[in-house]
Amino acid sequence: MLYGIAAAIAALFLAALLAALLRPLALRLGAVERRRGRLVALLGGPAVIVATAFVAGAGDWTDVAPLGPAAGRLLVAGMVVGALGLVADLRPVPLPVRAAVVTTAAALTVPFDELGLPVGVLAVGWVVLVTHAFTSLDHADGVMGTVAVVTAFALSGCAAAEVMDGLATLLSVLAAALTGFLMHGWPPARIVPGRCGGLFAGFVLASAAVLVHAAGGPGRAWGPRSR
């Protein structure tokens, strides 16, 4: 309990600090977009990813709050998807390429052994759809971050109820990091998550929802299960 509070506070302030430091760098590099006649920095996503990965990874590395294989794999896959988003923020990346990377990452995180192949394939498609949908929320200041924070907190509670402690920790740290980012991303935003933050948050949340669903028992996860 105490570690959870400390981890959330650390992720919140680390994300807020990184967002403040990355904003002038984004302006110098030209990683910006124009909103209502003003330029806003696009490097909010890396602040969220680094804060989430550092705090969650520290808990796992010290064995104070181990993530476990599923949540650890989800974090790594989410970071890969976020890195793709960062590239897309800096230069054009075709949608088919983005979709292919997200699909591959989703296929590595969806629990086919518990869902079964047909439902697992549907779950992969759902993860890809939700992940890209999150990037569309970034066209208005603060919307993507707010939706992601609420969703992450809700899924964290669901994961805790299913005794998925590692996933619950990852989601609570993500929610705290997004909250720290929103200190700079609330309207009028000084920095926005961009495709990097949208893809990372959307992928982690969509995949986490699938994992929680799969852990809910035969009545909620269709297909064969193995424990």
pLDDT in tens, 12-53: 999 999 999 999 999 998 889 888 778 899 999 999 999 999
pLDDT digit string, tens, across residues 122-174: 999 999 999 999 998 988 889 999 999 999 999 999 999 999 999 999 999 99
165-200: pLDDT as tens digits: 999 999 999 999 999 999 999 888 999 999 999 999
pLDDT of residue 223: 44
**Confidence class for position 110, pLDDT limits 50, 70, 90:** very high
Task: Assign 226 a pLDDT band (cuts: 50, 70, 90).
Answer: very low
Distance CA 100, CA 121 (A): 14
Residue-level length of the chain: 227
φ, ψ of residue 40 to 5 degrees: the values are -120, 145
Residue type present at position 80: V
- Outline where the chain has alpha helix (H): 2-29, 44-61, 68-90, 95-109, 112-115, 117-136, 143-161, 165-185, 194-214
Distance CA 131, CA 125 (A): 10
- pTM of the complete model: 0.92
